[in-house]
Amino acid sequence: MSYAIKEVFYTVQGEGHHAGTPALFVRFAGCNLWSGRDEHRERDAERNGAECPRWCDTDFADGDKWEHADGPKGLAAYIEACHPGHGEDLPLVVFTGGEPLLQLDRALIVELRDAFPRALFAVETNGTIEPRVPVGIRAGLDWVCVSPKLPVDRLALTSGHELKVVVPAYDPREYEAIADGFEHRFISAEAETSSVGQSVIVADNLRRAAAFVMENPAWRLTLQSHKIIGVP
């Protein structure tokens, strides 16, 4: 059993329903829609029929391999060591990427439950892969946030806790067919990306996102507050 991990870091959740909550982020390397390299942006956008490779600012390429015989146990110990406080007090663990559902499995979740017994286990996914982990409080994943990057008919996950659509790259109205399958609907403003790991908030996109939620009050605006306050 092996995993590829780009980074593990302690911060606050910057977006969505749990914005402002202290969280340990586990970023898996790799994605099924983009290689993570600047030179492949247009190629992968065309190949996969997705807009996200053109503007994604996340550095998820490569990463450290975990191929120990005790893969889940060893990785869980490493993740636990990345949290500077007491694990029993941590409120939130977020599995992200790249696309975390390419790798996240029940074995790792089971090991991490011992390290963080009170934490809500959340995943941020593009919705194209069915989880190999049960969804439900303390059953595996407690919280599922889908930020769709493909049309509805190409999604494997059409329900969950949060639906987060990035504008103007994607039109939230195209996801109305699945929106009732989520407890919360969010609109996020696309940032302007100069290269991997480098992006800035765009005022025009924020205003466009705000205008959409005012016209469609079933949706809520979420800001990338981590970029505003300068934390990972």
Active site residues: 25, 31, 52, 56-58, 124, 226
| Angle made by CA atoms 78, 145, 24, in degrees to the nearest 5 | 25
* Nearest partner of 71 among 133, 5, 7, judged by Cα: 5
Count of alpha carbons within 13 angstroms of residue 140, beta-carbon side = 13
Q: Give the whole-angstrom CA distance, residue 82 versus residue 35.
A: 26
Parallel, antiparallel or unpaired: strands 192-195 and 198-200: antiparallel
99 CB contacts (<8 Å, ≥6 apart)?
Answer: 28, 30, 31, 32, 33, 125, 126, 128, 129
| Bond into 217 cis (ω within 30) | no
CA distance 107 to 42: 36
